[in-house]
Amino acid sequence: MEPKTIKRIGVLTSGGDAPGMNAAIRATVRAGFYYELEMYGIYRGYEGMINDEIKKLDSKNITHILERGGTFLKSARSAEFRTQEGRKKAYDNLVKHGIDALVVIGGDGSLTGAHLFYKEFGIPAIGLPGTIDNDLSGTDSTIGFDTACNTAIQAIDKIRDTATSHDRLFFVEVMGRDAGFIAINTGIGSAAAATLIPEKKMPIERLIERLKARTKAKKQSNIVIVAEGGKSGGAAEIAKKVKKQLPYYDIKVTILGHLQRGGSPSSFDRVLASKLGVAAIEGLLQGKYDVMAGVINHKVVYTPIAKAIVGDKEVDEDDFRVAKILST
């Protein structure tokens, strides 16, 4: 597409927050200044676009934010943006501020919103994958995924100390919604006894067999990682079923929950977010609209948003095999 003249770009974060969102905002804004553009922060995601929470940014706004978790622009979920009237209000506010392009940092829902908005109003938009879940196609890793895995692994290291001291069996639930990426990585990285992910159903009998075999082999501790939204149920539900069949086990359940979203981004996420922030601005200037910038095999790639959000990214079979081999 022939690039439109772009002078003012609005940037927003939307959906669940993820570590590295600040780094992505900073890189986007810095790259904007480098190319002599005016940069605007849209606070509270699409909700702020509808309510006109839009402010011009200067370099002071983005000082010392690279290393901070969360998003200084705040994030929100907006029911009103799902309606055409809501999106029209948002469009009118962009026109009022003379904003002629958008960078949307968020998960599949947020990118769906950007795609619809582009189709309806023709505002050039580029998405950046900002979610801990890693469930977007068009990028090897989403911004925040690596940090979330590190956080989960550090927490499980601590749980292992108590599991070993008391011969306990722990069921640890990690985030990821319908995707098992955090679970499988955490399982491999923390030497889990088993990893239960939504993509693969593990019958309870097989889990019991594995736990019995590990007891026989005199394994010092047993930690089972359970992805939220798994087909076999959450950690509490599975623990209950196992307790029924192995009543002599001292079983505990830990749900890591929102602590996986917070914290300073890892080196990997900082670099990824920085590359993608620059890619967003350069993509817009080159006329790449309605796409998501991602990194595949260390190279920046642009994927149509409609393709990135289809939800066909799958846990690598090899990762699953490695987790299985190392847990027996």
Write the burial class of residue 324 (CB in 10 Å: 0-12 exposed, 13-18 middle, 19+ buried). Answer: middle
Q: Which is nearer to ligand ATP, 151 or 221 (CB)?
A: 151
The first and second tokens of residue 131, run together, are 């979610």
Q: Could you say whether residue 113 binds ligand ATP (CB under 6 A)?
A: yes
Q: Which is nearer to ligand ATP, 113 or 283 (CB)?
A: 113
Q: Of the candidates 106, 127, 187, 265, which one interacts with ligand ATP according to CB under 6 A?
A: 106
Q: Is the backbone of residue 209 left (phi > 0), alpha (psi -120 to 50) or beta?
A: alpha
Q: Could you give the dihedral angle defined by the CA atoms of residues 15, 18, 21 and 24, in that order, rounded to the nearest 10 degrees?
A: -110
Of the candidate spans 4-12, 111-119, 244-252, 320-328, the one that interacts with ligand ATP by CB under 6 A turns out to be 111-119
Of the candidate spans 105-113, 161-169, 195-203, 248-256, the one that interacts with ligand ATP by CB under 6 A turns out to be 105-113
Q: Could you say whether residue 116 binds ligand ATP (CB under 6 A)?
A: yes
CB 102 within 8 A of CB 12: yes
Q: Could you say whether residue 78 binds ligand ATP (CB under 6 A)?
A: yes
CB 170 within 8 A of CB 163: yes
The first and second tokens of residue 301, run together, are 């790639």
Q: Of the candidates 8, 82, 168, 241, which one interacts with ligand ATP according to CB under 6 A?
A: 82
Please spell the DSSP secondary structure of 218-229, one letter per residue.
Answer: T-S-EEEEEETT
Please spell the DSSP secondary structure of 80-112, one letter per residue.
Answer: GGGSHHHHHHHHHHHHHHT--EEEEEE-HHHHH
CB 194 within 8 A of CB 173: no
Q: What are phi and psi of 44, to 5 degrees?
A: 60, 40
Q: Could you say whether residue 91 binds ligand ATP (CB under 6 A)?
A: no
**Binding pattern to ligand ATP, positions 234-263, x when CB under 6 A?**
------------------------------
Q: Which is nearer to ligand ATP, 15 or 283 (CB)?
A: 15
CB 123 within 8 A of CB 92: no
Q: Could you say whether residue 230 binds ligand ATP (CB under 6 A)?
A: no
Distance CA(110)–CA(256), nearest Å, equals 24
In 3D space, the residue among 209, 197, 192 whose CA is nearest the CA of residue 246 turns out to be: 209
For 267, residues 6+ apart whose C-beta sits below 8 A from its C-beta are none
Q: List the catalytic residues.
A: 133
Q: Of the candidates 71, 131, 221, 266, which one interacts with ligand ATP according to CB under 6 A?
A: 131
Q: Of the candidates 10, 16, 41, 198, which one interacts with ligand ATP according to CB under 6 A?
A: 16
Q: Which is nearer to ligand ATP, 46 or 118 (CB)?
A: 46
Q: Could you say whether residue 51 binds ligand ATP (CB under 6 A)?
A: no
Q: Which is nearer to ligand ATP, 133 or 173 (CB)?
A: 133
Of the candidate spans 1-9, 75-83, 272-280, 289-297, the one that interacts with ligand ATP by CB under 6 A turns out to be 75-83
Residues contributing to the annotated binding site: 16, 26-30, 77-78, 107-110, 131-133, 160, 168, 175-177, 219-221, 228, 252, 258-261
Q: Could you say whether residue 14 binds ligand ATP (CB under 6 A)?
A: yes
Residues forming the site for ligand ATP (CB under 6 A): 14-16, 46, 77-78, 81-82, 106-110, 112-113, 116, 131, 133
